């Protein structure tokens, strides 16, 4: 995320896209080798030059996001307005620190992999390694959604079963149910779809009209709860942060 590399990347992107400016430019991840102020000063310069309109972050932890925002505010630089994290019914851990940081600082969440790499569409089955023209069919060991990595976790199948059950109740597809749940989460402003075909895109867009009931949402929440075991994200920490003051005059 050094000035040199970001300048080369942005210049190349503008050339490939055939435009003079992009609306939102998000840095892909935290760079431990480059001072965050150097990254933010480049982005601020790019805003002032008219090459980008807004600055965003991606794949940052809570403390990294907070440091970037605080540095931008302290130095009077262009402030990040979005964060792009992995987020879905199968990956909810950002709710422990990242989502609260975004809510506190006014950043919108733009989740990637909202369908868990296809897991939440119902295309994968227990004890049946995927084959064919799907993400995992072509590469079962693909990244965070690798088949063996998720198939051996019971929570994965609990979530898939819950999504399928609610899809049957609503007459929607599993993808629409999973996306509708995500669109209703705190701080989420939109989601990044990964459709391969027009049919998949049309199906995904149908989630915008789907409204889950409180009971359906609660069932999905329960099935997908990542289950923080203890302090600070488990019950002891939650109770401590939620203490009520009683008495007084």
Tell me the per-residue pLDDT of 121-143, one tens digit each, with 9 for 90 and over: 998 888 777 676 776 667 667 76
Tell me the per-residue pLDDT of 52-68, one tens digit each, with 9 for 90 and over: 999 999 999 999 999 99
Instruction: Tell me how far CA of residue 190 lies from CA of 58, 79, 108, 211, in angstroms.
Output: 14, 19, 8, 15
Distance, CA of 143 to CA of 149 (rounded, Å): 9
- Closest among 48, 2, 47, 56 to 24, alpha carbons compared: 56
16-40 in b/e form (b: 16+ CB < 10 A) is eeeeeebeebbbeebbeebebbebb
**Residues 46/10, Cβ–Cβ less than 8 Å:** yes
Decide: pTM greater than 0.85: yes
Distance, CA of 85 to CA of 65 (rounded, Å): 11
Which residues in the chain come in under a pLDDT of 70? 130, 132, 135-137, 139-140, 143, 243, 248-249
């Amino acid at each position: 995320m050094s000035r040199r590399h970001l300048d080369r990347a942005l210049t190349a992107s503008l050339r490939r896209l055939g435009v003079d400016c992009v609306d939102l430019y998000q840095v892909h991840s935290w760079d431990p080798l480059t001072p965050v102020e150097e990254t933010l000063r480049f982005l601020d310069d790019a805003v002032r030059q008219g090459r980008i309109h807004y600055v965003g972050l991606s794949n940052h932890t809570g403390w990294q996001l907070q440091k970037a925002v605080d540095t931008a505010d302290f130095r009077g630089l262009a402030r990040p307005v979005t964060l792009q994290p992995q987020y879905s019914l199968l990956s909810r851990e950002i709710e422990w620190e990242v989502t609260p940081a975004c809510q506190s600082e006014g950043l919108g969440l733009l989740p990637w992999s909202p369908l868990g790499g296809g897991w939440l569409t119902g295309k994968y089955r227990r004890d049946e390694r995927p084959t064919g023209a799907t993400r995992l069919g072509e590469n079962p060991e693909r990244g965070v959604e690798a088949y063996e990595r998720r198939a051996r976790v019971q929570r994965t199948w609990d979530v898939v079963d819950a999504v399928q059950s609610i899809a049957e109740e609503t007459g929607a597809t599993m993808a629409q149910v999973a996306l509708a749940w995500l669109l209703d989460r705190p701080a989420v402003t939109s989601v990044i779809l990964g459709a391969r075909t027009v049919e998949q895109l049309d199906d995904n867009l149908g989630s915008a009209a789907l409204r889950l009931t409180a009971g359906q949402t609660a069932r999905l929440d329960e099935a997908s709860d990542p289950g923080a075991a203890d302090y600070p994200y488990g019950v002891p920490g939650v109770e401590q942060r939620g203490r009520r003051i009683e008495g007084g005059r």
